[in-house]
Amino acid sequence: MKSTLAVLALGLFALVVQGALARAIAPPWCPDLAWLVVVGIGLRWPGFLSGFVISALLGFAMDSVSGSLVGQHAVLRIFSYLAAAIASRQLDLSGGIPIALLTLALSVAYGFGIVSTRAIFLGPEPLLVEVLALAVAQGFVHMVCVGPIVGLVDRIVNRFADEELSRRGSLALGYSSYPGRGRS
């Protein structure tokens, strides 16, 4: 529970910092720090459902401050979380380069998701080449910034993991203290 609240606070703090940075840095060059927290949750969070809920909450927080379509960022952040979580469980993402390349791909997909959802509800935007260039520029910015954000999420997970495990008991998955259930 403490790690959930700590990561949620990190995501909300990242949203505030991102808002302050956006006043000084042009949009493709300003990193989406709260989205990077969601990617970090997907890469490092041990619980699938709790990470899903945190990602949705951070997405709705972004919707409330960005003035976009209600639920647009929430849905896209859930998809980003799912893609990062599946990739971290299926691929060898040890090291900075694989994580940076995954972040680039997810960032470009997120940009196309924004354009696609806007096109569905508000009408098509004909500037596909410009959107692609902005998405790739934002992706490179995210590649540079993903390391420290994932490191922060990882530190929070590791910091509170020992406390949460000690409260839950010492039985590992697959073991049960009841006869006939699991290995005893």
pLDDT tens digits, 7-65: 999 999 999 999 899 889 988 899 999 999 999 999 998 888 989 999 999 999 988 88
Predicted pLDDT of residue 129: 76
Average pLDDT, the chain: 83
Residue 105 has φ and ψ, to the nearest 5°, of -65, -45
DSSP string, 107-150: HHHHHHHHHHHHHHHH-----HHHHHHHHHHHHHHHHHHHHHHH
If you compute the radius of gyration of the chain from its CA atoms, what whole number of angstroms results? 18
Predicted pLDDT of residue 163: 61
Apex 119 CA angle, 114 and 125, nearest 5: 95
Looking at the DSSP bridge assignments, the partners of residue 183 are 175
Mean pLDDT of 83-91: 92
pLDDT for 89-112, tens place per residue?
Answer: 998 888 889 999 999 999 999 888
pLDDT category, 132, cuts 50, 70, 90? confident
CATH code for 2-167? 1.10.1760
